[in-house]
Amino acid sequence: MKVEEKRRLKKIAIMEAALDVWSCDDYSNPSLTTLAENLQMTKQALYRYFSGKEELFDSMAEYVNSLEREWFLQLIPRLEQLSEKEKFRFYIESYARAQVEGQRYIRFAHFNTMRQNKFFHINNIDLIQKVQEILGISDRVFLLIMLYCFFMWGWHEHEELQANRTDKEKIDLILTLLEEGLAGDTFKLPEVDTVESTQNIAREYKARTAKPDIINSVNEVIQERGFTGVTLELIAEKAGMSKSTLYNYFENKDDMLTKTINALVKDYTEFHARLLAKKETFEGKLLAHLELQSVLFPQKPQAFIVLKQFMSPEIFNRVKRPAHQKGFLDFLQKGIDDKKLKDLLTVYEYQMIFSFFIFIERVIFQQEADLPMKEEILEWLKLLAFGNRAAGQNR
């Protein structure tokens, strides 16, 4: 074996070890010393292959991207051999399996988004477009498949939302949602002129939920660094006070995060109730619900990390989640009871699915947070409500 090939394989072994070791704590402390110990080599020996952590991270990003590209290259010929009906099932099965088996690659991608301080970026666009062409679907439908798979196999595994569904049942449900949509017999898609101005909601929300500087400081640092990146030192600096003064407000970091998040959640749920109370129809309440989320969604490179950390068991079990507050999702349950929505999902599942397309618009499509999302919200509602073909989204 040539020296160059041995070196290449050794670098891959180091990167694979880093993906294993550092993903255990979501890259909160990516130590070269720990990595070297795991590889049973000296730290100095690591420097023969990588000049430092930044070069290693850059190489890991290229490596993970190459694995994704190889996955697509193997998938595409298989898709081309299948019938139209078989293609969708096979693609969903393959994507779901890759998501479950590739959790450490996904964790690195999340970390790398934060490290590079760049907006969410989809790699291998040429191959994704080829898959879309084979399946005959638009960008939104392609992302909706990703959303449903992520929902069924990824984000909520620690909850028990999907515990009673087999993989086959999950795939059947996704295919049903894609083909027929979520809307019940009485659902009517609103008109554009019925959507309230995002700016008006934003101004009213900010006016009604003004918080003390200390809470705002914690919230700003969470948005900048994610939950795991918050320190008392950063909060003190942001708030313009000493670290010792912080202990007059919080017992420790966990207490600070819990109290801050719960204060923000309380404001949000109270404003949400007032906003929906102004609307008479289910469709009006749903639009108001979505519009408020589009206002609140952070238009920052770290948005995905913040959401992922918020949904982790460590954070999730510590805070009063909006969706679990009394009355918060009553309008969705009434929508199911009145046949505005099909009785296929729980109200909590509906809430999460309706929320995720806001993330797609804000972070993947990079829709600016201060711009109205009237057309975007209605396009997504049309697709979610009536399915791929009925919504005319197949091309």
> What is the model's pLDDT at position 235?
83
The amino acid occupying position 277 is: A
Measured CA to CA, the distance from residue 215 to residue 361 in angstroms comes to 28
In a domain, 395, yes or no: no
> What is the model's pLDDT at position 103?
83
- The model's pLDDT over 69-88, given as tens digits with 9 standing for 90+, comes to 999 999 999 999 999 889 98
- Contacts of residue 307, defined as CB under 8 A and 6 or more positions apart, other chains included, come to 359
Verify that 104 and 199 share a domain, yes or no. no
Query: Last residue of some domain: 179, 199, 215?
Result: 179
Q: Are 305 and 110 in contact (CB under 8 A)?
A: yes
In a domain, 140, yes or no: yes
- The model's pLDDT over 309-336, given as tens digits with 9 standing for 90+, comes to 555 556 556 666 666 667 788 999 999 9
Tokens (6 digits) for 324 = 């679990």
| pTM over 0.85, yes/no | no
**Average pLDDT over all residues of the chain:** 80
The most confident of 172-181, 211-220, 232-241, 303-312, by mean pLDDT: 172-181
Measured CA to CA, the distance from residue 105 to residue 16 in angstroms comes to 10
Measured CA to CA, the distance from residue 343 to residue 273 in angstroms comes to 24
pLDDT higher at 318 or 340: 340
Look up the CATH number of the domain holding residue 108: 1.10.357.10
Q: Are 132 and 139 in contact (CB under 8 A)?
A: yes
Q: Are 316 and 262 in contact (CB under 8 A)?
A: no
Query: Last residue of some domain: 155, 179, 203?
Result: 179
Per-residue pLDDT band at 14 (split at 50, 70, 90): very high
Q: Is the pLDDT of residue 370 over 80?
A: no
Q: Which domain holds residue 72?
A: 3-179
Q: How far is CA 221 from the centre of its chain?
A: 19
**What Cα–Cα distance (Å) separates residue 83 from each residue in 79, 90, 134, 394?**
8, 10, 10, 16
Verify that 160 and 262 share a domain, yes or no. no
Measured CA to CA, the distance from residue 197 to residue 371 in angstroms comes to 9
Measured CA to CA, the distance from residue 115 to residue 51 in angstroms comes to 17
Verify that 153 and 18 share a domain, yes or no. yes
Measured CA to CA, the distance from residue 321 to residue 278 in angstroms comes to 23
> What is the model's pLDDT at position 395?
34
User: Which residues, listed in sequence order, are joined to residue 161 by a DSSP beta bridge?
Assistant: none
Query: Last residue of some domain: 164, 179, 194?
Result: 179
The most confident of 59-63, 100-104, 206-210, by mean pLDDT: 59-63
Verify that 245 and 272 share a domain, yes or no. yes
Verify that 148 and 187 share a domain, yes or no. no
Lowest mean pLDDT among 52-61, 94-103, 293-302, 340-349: 293-302
Instruction: Provide the domain count of the chain.
Output: 2
- The model's pLDDT over 279-293, given as tens digits with 9 standing for 90+, comes to 889 998 998 888 887
Lowest mean pLDDT among 122-126, 297-301, 380-384: 297-301
Q: Is the pLDDT of residue 9 over 60?
A: yes
Verify that 146 and 62 share a domain, yes or no. yes
> What is the model's pLDDT at position 394?
41
Verify that 209 and 303 share a domain, yes or no. yes
Verify that 140 and 228 share a domain, yes or no. no
Verify that 100 and 165 share a domain, yes or no. yes
In a domain, 29, yes or no: yes
Measured CA to CA, the distance from residue 196 to residue 241 in angstroms comes to 40
Verify that 67 and 146 share a domain, yes or no. yes
Residue whose structure tokens are 């998938």: 75
The pairs formed by 28-36 with CB atoms below 8 angstroms and a separation of 24 or more are 28/228, 32/56
Per-residue pLDDT band at 157 (split at 50, 70, 90): very low
Verify that 200 and 167 share a domain, yes or no. no
Verify that 243 and 116 share a domain, yes or no. no
Residue 27: phi and psi, rounded to 5, are 60, 30
In a domain, 352, yes or no: yes
Per-residue pLDDT band at 208 (split at 50, 70, 90): low
Kindly provide the b/e burial profile for residues 143-155, where b requires at least 16 CB atoms within 10 angstroms of the residue's own CB: bbbbbbbbbbbbb
- The model's pLDDT over 218-266, given as tens digits with 9 standing for 90+, comes to 777 776 776 667 788 888 888 888 888 878 877 877 777 777 777 777 8
Half-sphere exposure of 282 (CA within 13 A, CB side): 19
In a domain, 202, yes or no: yes
Tokens (6 digits) for 57 = 């991270």
Angle between helices 282-296 and 330-337 in degrees, nearest 10: 150
